[in-house]
Structure 1
Amino acid sequence: MAVADRSTGKFGAAFRGHVGPVYQMSWSADSRLLLSGSRDSTLKVWDIRTRKLKQDLPGHSDEVFSVDWSPNGEKVASGGKDKVLKLWMG
């Protein structure tokens, strides 16, 4: 997964970990973490400063199409092809 600098459009960082295409990403409210959901049925939480995987969240039985943070950043929600909505506690 590649992230570009929004102000310049230039390549910013690469994050490797998913084994399938990433369908959606969501920034935490403080922009320190990035959440991604993928065809590989997992969510991943990335630390932007270190560019490392902070947390791997397996649990869906099929592709993850939608991910988002709670307003306070303590939970994430995901939904996918398995027709399941999951709420993950930090």
Structure 2
Amino acid sequence: SVVAGGLWWPYRIEPVALAQAWALRSLDVYEELAARPEETGVHMCEGVLGETTPDEVGAWASARLPGLRPATAGEYAGVGLWARLPLVDMSAHL
């Protein structure tokens, strides 16, 4: 759908080992595409992933996502993580 956006985040995907490899490779590709956002529709955006705890994120993601950290109570009312992730504008990307 051109009105939807796509956010990169490997959310509870199995098998875990394969999902991690896929996630890291796709992150590399999206970061490359984000260098040309007007052309590709991919932007690197910082925000809070709500209802996501540090325990749900493996070391593989923590090491690859600089700035990944828990949101403070003053930043977000629930449990969440700050992250800088690829966000895809589907109308441009498709």
TM-score (normalizing by structure 1)? 0.24
Structure having the higher Rg: 2
- Greater share of residues in helix: 2
Q: Using CA pairs under 8 Å that are at least 6 residues apart, name the structure with larger relative contact order, 1 or 2.
A: 2
